[in-house]
Chains A and B, each alone.
Chain A
Amino acid sequence: NAGVTQTPKFQVLKTGQSMTLQCAQDMNHEYMSWYRQDPGMGLRLIHYSVGAGITDQGEVPNGYNVSRSTTEDFPLRLLSAAPSQTSVYFCASSRTGTGNQPQHFGDGTRLSIL
Chain B
Amino acid sequence: AQSVTQLDSQVPVFEEAPVELRCNYSSSVSVYLFWYVQYPNQGLQLLLKYLSGSTLVKGINGFEAEFNKSQTSFHLRKPSVHISDTAEYFCAVSDRDDKIIFGKGTRLHILP
Bound together, the chains give a CA A67 to CA B41 distance in angstroms of 27
B100, CB-defined interface residue at 8 Å: yes
Residues from chain A with a CB closer than 8 A to the CB of B100 are 99, 103
Q: Does more than half of chain B's interface fall in helix, strand or loop, or is it mixed?
A: loop
Residues of B within 8 A of A58 (CB): 99
Closest-by-CB residue of B relative to A38 is B104
Interface string of A1-31 (1 = CB under 8 A from B): 0001000000000000000000000000000
Q: Say whether B102 faces chain A, with CB atoms less than 8 Å apart.
A: yes
User: In chain A, what residue has the closest Cβ to B98?
Assistant: A99
Residues in A lying within 8 Å of B, measured CB to CB:
4, 33, 35, 40-43, 45, 48, 58, 90, 92, 98-100, 102-108
15 contacts between A and B (CB under 8 A): A42-B102, A45-B99, A58-B99, A92-B43, A99-B95, A99-B98, A99-B99, A100-B49, A100-B51, A102-B34, A102-B46, A103-B100, A105-B36, A107-B42, A108-B42
